[in-house]
Copies of this chain bind each other. A is one copy, B any other.
């Protein structure tokens, strides 16, 4: 399967992949039918077996696209953090609590932006379905985006707690911290209702960023 044929197909593959993210996300693998997928993409039903070898092939390809998309969207922010951590390693001196808090807050605010973005809405269903019953698709998303992010955040949480990042306590905090942000996407319906929000617009986005700062602050204050 050396490479996806691109000649002549005026974006059939791309249209299919784009549509697949939201259709699979909304209905899951079984709930989505090839007819839904191709209709949403505006292409012939036969395009799926032809280009992807079948529905499952399209599913895997979609997962890869999502992984790449996530990595891309948080990439710039992640690079900043990596740079700070790398510099600390070079100097052989740990990152200061103040800097860790600043960097972590900034990164997680970006993450929060991405999480509640319209783009992520299409990703979310896909990812969280996979999280419950991981298939190969999840592996790919994890490797591309989630794994590196977890490790990075964990190091900063370790600094804030003045504890070994490898310790259980730090890792537990990291997991809870990230899930405390993701909840606004994953349980969006529940969250909106509970907050009396109708949607997540600029004002709500701003409130979320403040909330993220709150969460980070609460880590450094606890012992």
Residues of A within 8 A of B (CB): 26-31, 124-125, 128-129, 131-134, 142, 146, 150, 168-169, 171-184, 186-187, 189-191, 194-195, 207-208, 211, 214-215, 217-219, 221-222
Contact = CB atoms under 8 A, between A and B. Distances in A.
Contacts of A133: 26-27, 125
Nearest to A142: B190
A150 B194 contact: yes
Given A176-B180, A176-B181, A179-B179, 19 more contacts: A28-B28, A30-B30, A124-B132, A128-B186, A129-B132, A134-B189, A142-B190, A168-B207, A171-B195, A172-B207, A172-B214, A175-B195, A179-B183, A179-B186, A179-B187, A214-B222, A218-B218, A218-B222, A222-B222
B218 A132 contact: no
Contacts of A181: 176
A132 B142 contact: no
Contact of A194 (B169, B175, B187, B221): B175
Nearest to A29: B31
Kindly report how many copies of this chain are found in the complex they form together. 2
Contacts of A189: 131, 134
A109 to B, nearest CB: 14
B175 A183 contact: yes
Contacts of A129: 28, 129, 132
Contacts of A195: 168, 171-172, 175
Contacts of A146: 190
Contact of A182 (B178, B179, B218): B179
Contacts of A172: 195, 207-208, 211, 214
Contacts of A169: 211, 214
Nearest to A138: B189
Contacts of A178: 183
Nearest to A154: B194
Contact of A177 (B30, B180, B219): B180
A150 B191 CA distance: 10
